[in-house]
Structure 1
Amino acid sequence: MSKDIKKVVLAYSGGLDTSVILAWIKETYDCEVVTLTADLGQGEELDGIEEKALSTGAVKAYVEDLQEEFARDFIFPMFRAGAIYEGRYMLGTSIARPLIAKRLVDIAVAEGAQAVAHGATGKGNDQVRFELSVTALAPGLRTIAPWREWDLKSRTDCINFAKSHGIQTPMSHAKPYSCDRNLLHCSFEGGELEEPWNEPGPQSYAMCVPVEQAPDAAEIITIDFEKGDAVAINGEKLTPAGIMLKLNELGGKHGIGRVDMVENRFVGMKSRGVYETPGGAILFAAHRDLEGITMDRELMSLRDSLIPRYAGMIYNGFWYAPEREAIQAFIDKSQEHVTGTVRIKLYKGQVIPLGRRSPFSLYDSALATFEEDEVYNQADAAGFIRLQGLRLRGFAKR
């Protein structure tokens, strides 16, 4: 192994994989390991994780609460764009990786490390997301990806390695899924989900109740937006992270935001996953509804044409690429007047907009009415239709 690597900063969760990786890097590279544990609102108890990292061999352990930065600088810009991958996935795991990579780089620079490391496998998307982000931010840093280097081939091998090195881990053969949880979502992969025909099991619920168990009574809420970002729920001003936490609570209670899909990974394979995005599903629907009265038709059409490309950039790991940043500038310009309030009904897995208002509304009731008006001459439509039909008449004659 390279002798010029003296210190490595590892993205550390405290689970089986990263605990084994910590010990493996230290042993294999004969170097110091610094850990970063990013609290992105995963809902797991992080007490004691610093001590665990140190007892497993880390020389220093960073444990950072990044929830507000995650919501403000990553989730909210993505939702301003209306980004959704392959029509269904709200990118909960994808959008977290560039923030973790950013902090890995920051700490590596501060600590004088020569490399960063992650626990993503060689089959997944996360390896690409981490490493492209690091490349964009600090091209001189090396990245160590143990799943592509070591001779451990399975979780069983990792469990045996942990036992032989005295590493305490709660992981066992009984764990049914590979999960990722943060402020935006919880994902489930593996187990019975590896057969696309199988129904997800009862343990694949973390943030949402099954829709059959959702309350029989609907709940009506309001969400206030300023320039495309949610700022208040039911009139109560909240921080970006506070918005996500409250919407997750509301959406989870009503069984909102579960998606079961087979997606196309960037590395080329298809993968089946179950995603719970309760707050995100509410936010997405409310934001889109408010845009209906505040965005110009052609502006919305142009923005919508960019959604698949923008979502693909996030999914594939190009958050820090110049094209994503350029599109973001356009997106943010398009959101300047997406300000107002949406009233929503939450019921049995559904998000149902009931009303919307905005000081920048483009809706003109005098124009839209079916009653008599004095602002629209219906006879004008005849000339408009004739002009629109010119090319069609020419095509038909040919």
Structure 2
Amino acid sequence: MEKKYNKVVLAYSGGLDTSVLIPWLKEHYGCEVIAVSGNVGQGTELDGLEEKALKTGASKLYIEDLTKDFVDDYIIPTMKAGATYEQYLLGTSFARPIIAKRIVDIALKEGADAICHGCTGKGNDQVRFELAIHAFAPQMDIIAPWRFWELNSREKEIEYAEAHNIPLKINKETNYSKDKNLWHLSHEGLDLELPSNAAPINKPGFLELGVSPEMAPDKPTYVTIHFEKGVPTAVDGEKLESVALIEKLNKLGGENGIGILDIVENRLVGMKSRGVYETPGGAILYAAHAKLEEITLDKETSHYKNQVALKFGELVYNGQWYTPLRKALSAFVDSTQETVTGDVKLKLYKGNIIPASVTSPYSLYSEDMATFNEDDCYDQADSAGFINLFGLPLKVRALNDQILYKKTGEHFPSVEK
């Protein structure tokens, strides 16, 4: 027998899964359904959401504006870390924790018995939502219908929606699974499920944040971004708050075919999945930030930070934002950013991001040291002693190999001859 609930808070986007969940929850549990949507910059997707939620049976809808916190507390820290997951710039991954945290806040305030989400049992988002719920409401029941319900395909969901007069913006022919926020837009499903099929990026209406590289202008666009301690603060000399800055870079990047990624990634749950991602502004920011770090970070810090970035990206992708390790890694990253201040100029051209210039008051690059011309600050004769010491282990091994060979006719293991 199904457990009974009086009040369930639903993570509600107005997409296919959550649209059918409101009447489905009421039918199966006889409960009040309170819908919660997190505004993380998905724009027009929120239009008409309240009317739709109420008409399909929700008692109320919360639309929580999380956009600025999303940028300042999740996007920028991840960008400063240089964190990616298999090239992917983690768009959906860090949106889920902030939304889930706010859903928990509302569920506790409303005295809800359970929280429901529409994530599939094959996907990553179920983990991201539920880890955040465990972090802030460990006793809260979680309903995940995709693990047990009868609507076990998107086609069946569409049929259910049509039978219950639930309006949808998609049909069986345009049924890509998409997720959009200020930072990115993801596309999955349909013809993308076969890696042998080329992504239809030139098909009208497929891309939403920009154009394909082939459709971009023949004339390049130049953009200059200013950073203060790793945080982008201005574009082309104009100071902008964080949300407006990303919006501006999204426009510039989108117009020039920047930030389109087509990959087969390794999902947390074990399978491979093919997706197409649009991250125009994010791709620009990552490129500019990395360029600035080239001249402001020393070698050891830079190389170690690359290792941290790999782990940071895995934590974000796996929904482990609210963990002690992620918090500790962010503290390390913030320490490395003390000197990451300066200006980066980039050339945007048909999907390419080409460095044009980089300057910083904290630059570690020395023209006097690096020049091929005559200088008085570097004695090239010193390099002989350096190489002798640096290569000493190789020299000792080679000498010992010669002795061994004279005695036995054999070489040291792995010595190439």
Q: 1:316 is matched with which residue?
A: 318
Which letter maps to 1:166?
Answer: N
Q: 1:28 is matched with which residue?
A: 28
Report the Cα distance in structure 1 between the residues aligned to 2:258 and 2:190, rounded to whole angstroms: 23
Q: Matched residue of 1:359: which SS?
A: coil
Report the Cα distance in structure 1 between the residues aligned to 2:166 and 2:93, rounded to whole angstroms: 29
- How high is the sequence identity, in percent, across the aligned residues? 55
Task: Identify which range, 288-297 or 162-171, moves more after superposition.
Answer: 162-171
Q: Matched residue of 1:383: which SS?
A: helix
Which letter maps to 2:378?
Answer: Y
Equivalent residue runs for 1:258-337 within 5 Å = 258-337=260-339
Q: Matched residue of 1:8: which SS?
A: strand
Matched, 1:144 2:143: yes
Alignment RMSD (CA, Å): 1.3
Report the Cα distance in structure 2 between the residues aligned to 1:269 and 1:76, rounded to whole angstroms: 29
Task: Identify which range, 284-293 or 359-368, moves more after superposition.
Answer: 359-368
Aligned residues of 1:211 and 1:254 also touching (Cα < 8 A): yes
CA-to-aligned-CA distance 1:230-253 (integer Å, 9 cap, x gap): 111001111111111111100000
Which letter maps to 1:34?
Answer: I
Q: Tell me by how many angstroms 1:156 deviates.
A: 2.5
Report the Cα distance in structure 2 between the residues aligned to 1:238 and 1:285, rounded to whole angstroms: 19
Q: Matched residue of 2:51: which SS?
A: helix
Q: 2:360 is matched with which residue?
A: 358
Report the Cα distance in structure 2 between the residues aligned to 1:212 and 1:168, rounded to whole angstroms: 35
Q: 2:63 is matched with which residue?
A: 63
Equivalent residue runs for 1:1-398 within 5 Å = 1-3=2-4, 5-86=5-86, 88-201=87-200, 202=203, 203-397=205-399, 398=401
Report the Cα distance in structure 2 between the residues aligned to 1:373 and 1:109, rounded to whole angstroms: 69
Report the Cα distance in structure 1 between the residues aligned to 2:97 and 2:327, rounded to whole angstroms: 13
Report the Cα distance in structure 2 between the residues aligned to 1:288 and 1:344, rounded to whole angstroms: 12
Which letter maps to 2:228?
Answer: E
Which letter maps to 1:163?
Answer: E
Report the Cα distance in structure 2 between the residues aligned to 1:47 and 1:179, rounded to whole angstroms: 17
Which letter maps to 1:190?
Answer: G
Identify unmatched segments of 5+ residues in structure 1.
none
* Matched positions, count: 396
Q: Tell me by how many angstroms 1:125 deviates.
A: 0.7
Report the Cα distance in structure 2 between the residues aligned to 1:16 and 1:57, rounded to whole angstroms: 15
Report the Cα distance in structure 1 between the residues aligned to 2:10 and 2:275, rounded to whole angstroms: 26
Q: Tell me by how many angstroms 1:227 deviates.
A: 1.0
Report the Cα distance in structure 1 between the residues aligned to 2:46 and 2:309, rounded to whole angstroms: 35
Aligned residues of 1:208 and 1:257 also touching (Cα < 8 A): no
Q: 2:406 is matched with which residue?
A: none
Q: Matched residue of 1:180: which SS?
A: strand
Report the Cα distance in structure 2 between the residues aligned to 1:46 and 1:242, rounded to whole angstroms: 19
Report the Cα distance in structure 2 between the residues aligned to 1:334 and 1:96, rounded to whole angstroms: 25
TM-score, normalization: structure 1?
A: 0.96
Which letter maps to 1:244?
Answer: I
Which letter maps to 1:326?
Answer: A
Q: Matched residue of 1:94: which SS?
A: coil
Q: Tell me by how many angstroms 1:160 deviates.
A: 2.7
Report the Cα distance in structure 1 between the residues aligned to 2:373 and 2:32, rounded to whole angstroms: 76
Q: Matched residue of 2:218: which SS?
A: coil
Which letter maps to 1:71?
Answer: V
Report the Cα distance in structure 1 between the residues aligned to 2:113 and 2:379, rounded to whole angstroms: 71
Report the Cα distance in structure 2 between the residues aligned to 1:113 and 1:153, rounded to whole angstroms: 26
Aligned residues of 1:68 and 1:239 also touching (Cα < 8 A): no
TM-score, normalization: structure 2?
A: 0.92
Q: Tell me by how many angstroms 1:45 deviates.
A: 4.3
CA-to-aligned-CA distance 1:89-111 (integer Å, 9 cap, x gap): 11111111111111111111211
Q: Matched residue of 1:37: which SS?
A: strand
Which letter maps to 1:209?
Answer: V
Report the Cα distance in structure 2 between the residues aligned to 1:182 and 1:170, rounded to whole angstroms: 17
Aligned residues of 1:204 and 1:274 also touching (Cα < 8 A): no
CA-to-aligned-CA distance 1:267-294 (integer Å, 9 cap, x gap): 1111111111111110000000000111
Q: Tell me by how many angstroms 1:189 deviates.
A: 0.6
Q: Tell me by how many angstroms 1:40 deviates.
A: 1.4
Which letter maps to 2:194?
Answer: E
Aligned residues of 1:75 and 1:95 also touching (Cα < 8 A): yes
Report the Cα distance in structure 2 between the residues aligned to 1:347 and 1:251, rounded to whole angstroms: 9
